[in-house]
Structure 1
């Protein structure tokens, strides 16, 4: 049952031409059980400082991830500023993230067993996030008032779930870099992803050919030595390989290159990996501080089937990603493997929980394909031709199956285009929503 829920709000706080107001909503952990335990879901309202009392249409933002909080606005610029020209914006901290009741290794440690941890985490997927949003709409907006949704990356997955089960709450949808492949499950998506990641590696080494030797030297060292990171975690060859997560973002090639070029120093025992390099490696990964991103990542594709560590199973089909001494290393992207939990100190106690979730086969539906095939909500999306995380082939397949869906395909930006050219992208998509020939 979707209905208004209890909530509390602050007064508006104004700075740098924007006004902010915080809202905290009391949500059922399980929307299908009346006596479910309660959690908190946080959302921050943003509006132009001179338009606080104006009757503006609402837009709700769904962040990428899974498992990451919404933006923390610092000024009136970027894509948020573009939205504020015409809308009142709600930045949603999806359940488990930000200032919502958080999912962290510390909070999961409160459960007595791995099974209890896994049972709890099953309530943190897109279906629950969308029901939260609908409860918020019923609580915060006027009766019958709809809003637009805007979603980046995984936020676009959430919005297709929204269009599937609660289209009555939306009067428009914008998706940036997040039109999901909804056919073929995790396996179909990861097969495409491996190909995209291989292409990114090839482009990276063409751009920085000198890094081939640097990477080989680091890999050889990691194969021969157990390297402990400042936090106590392990820099295994596989954890180093996972730095390829950077390659799909604007500026990611440079981030990785600048990281590699400072890898070594001469220490008391000779040549060794530099402390600032090791600290930067740790900072490049958020698996431990955002465990949803690791443990529930593959479940974003799961409907009635076990994921069973899909990316790791498919790795055998792509032997070029194997780590071999003295051979070129291909970095990986969003490929989650069970061994990753060994490399992160905070995640080691969650290994049993992760295995339970990977084996779970009774995941509920994330999409209603019949409803999507009759969609009436105007939807405009940008998909990036070379996207390493959301393969264009699967995005295109989905977009062509949904009416009233405009898809702008571009190779001008990477996956985080909204962060580099947000005003241009958002203004273009907003214009398309108004087009009579969407």
Structure 2
């Protein structure tokens, strides 16, 4: 059973992020539709970060780009609520004017720091490397193709601030004390061009192992079109396509998600989570 997404067999990192940024924007729009008061709250925090040098208690340099990256939580089932509660009480009054609250900073550093999992940041883009093209900080480069994510331009107008998602950027290896020792290694990986193929499509096309995959239709982290293309290329793979869960469906859905993902019962379902045409139970 495969849960949480099927990767593309041949997409470059640039393809992954060109598909990702529009999905991220839709998730942010859905969040603001749910909590419209967060539009002004997010803009206020971003404006503060553009005009103040903020360093979190753990030494993390909290820039507006770092603030935007908190949008990664929107890919989880309760992420929108988590982000909303984080933004509610971001400021406290001080004699020098409003300042970011200690409690807010404490929560933010827990969400931003890679101290507990530095290798995740290091190999996140490298996991897409499989030809002579370097990943070359793909998420950062491709983001420039989507100017609505530019915080400075947004704040110069009246548009809602867009958060980003599960993307790794070179500035993280400067801002995060846990990643600074890995800055040089990250640069070497981003420049590497001698990747070997990750997958063997010919072998997957004759697969004989029963396998099922959950494809979360509205997954912010994994592109549905990429996942279904991969599913079609693997012999015998059955998909359960559902919008009932986010990327963390196994954690939040419990037995309901596992039932849908059973290799012997999983078939394609319609948005809404209903499984159609399920196979009989395995004898």
TM-score, normalisation: structure 2: 0.89
Give distance in 2, aligned partners of 1:231 and 1:347.
12
CA displacement 1:77-135 (0-9 Å, x = unmatched): xxxxxxxxxxxxxxxxxxxxxxxxxxxxxxxxxxxxxxxxxxxxxxxxxxxxxxxxxxx
Give distance in 2, aligned partners of 1:380 and 1:344.
38
Correspondence for 1:236 among 57, 63, 82: 63
In the alignment, structure 1 residue 391 sits paired with structure 2 residue 223: yes
Corresponding residue for residue 306 of structure 1: 134
In the alignment, structure 1 residue 284 sits paired with structure 2 residue 111: yes
Correspondence for 1:403 among 212, 235, 246: 235
Gaps of 5+ in 2: 267-278
In the alignment, structure 1 residue 261 sits paired with structure 2 residue 93: no
Deviation at 1:284, TM superposition (A): 1.1
Corresponding residue for residue 77 of structure 1: none
**8 Å CA contact 1:309, 1:338 repeated in 2:** yes
In the alignment, structure 1 residue 369 sits paired with structure 2 residue 201: yes
**8 Å CA contact 2:32, 2:39 repeated in 1:** yes
Give distance in 1, aligned partners of 2:113 and 2:202.
36
**8 Å CA contact 1:379, 1:433 repeated in 2:** no
Corresponding residue for residue 189 of structure 1: 16
The 3-state SS of whatever aligns with 2:119 is helix
Q: Which has the higher contact order (CA 8 A, sep 6+)?
A: 2
Deviation at 1:353, TM superposition (A): 1.2
Mapping of 1:53-64 within 5 angstroms? none
The alignment covers a number of residue pairs equal to: 265
Change (3 A) 1:302 1:360: same
In the alignment, structure 1 residue 213 sits paired with structure 2 residue 45: no
Deviation at 1:365, TM superposition (A): 2.1
Give distance in 2, aligned partners of 1:268 and 1:288.
34
Correspondence for 2:145 among 283, 298, 317: 317
Give distance in 1, aligned partners of 2:11 and 2:197.
13
Correspondence for 2:74 among 232, 247, 254: 247
**8 Å CA contact 2:91, 2:100 repeated in 1:** yes
Deviation at 1:190, TM superposition (A): 1.1
Structure having the higher Rg: 1
Deviation at 1:425, TM superposition (A): 1.6
**8 Å CA contact 1:378, 1:433 repeated in 2:** no
The 3-state SS of whatever aligns with 2:31 is helix
Corresponding residue for residue 107 of structure 1: none
Deviation at 1:337, TM superposition (A): 0.9
Deviation at 1:433, TM superposition (A): 6.2
TM-score, normalisation: structure 1: 0.58
Deviation at 1:293, TM superposition (A): 1.2
Give distance in 2, aligned partners of 1:223 and 1:319.
17
Gaps of 5+ in 1: 1-173
What RMSD in Å do the two structures reach over aligned CA positions?
Answer: 1.8
CA displacement 1:138-160 (0-9 Å, x = unmatched): xxxxxxxxxxxxxxxxxxxxxxx
Deviation at 1:431, TM superposition (A): 5.6
Change (3 A) 1:181 1:437: farther
Give distance in 1, aligned partners of 2:95 and 2:43.
23
- Quick check: 223-232 or 283-292, which moved more? 283-292
Corresponding residue for residue 145 of structure 1: none
Corresponding residue for residue 51 of structure 2: 224
Name segments (4+ residues, structure 1) moved above 6 Å: none
Give distance in 2, aligned partners of 1:196 and 1:417.
18
Mapping of 1:50-199 within 5 angstroms? 174-199=1-26
Mapping of 1:324-363 within 5 angstroms? 324=152, 325-326=155-156, 327-363=159-195
Deviation at 1:330, TM superposition (A): 0.5
Give distance in 2, aligned partners of 1:365 and 1:410.
30
The 3-state SS of whatever aligns with 2:2 is strand
Give distance in 2, aligned partners of 1:219 and 1:286.
19
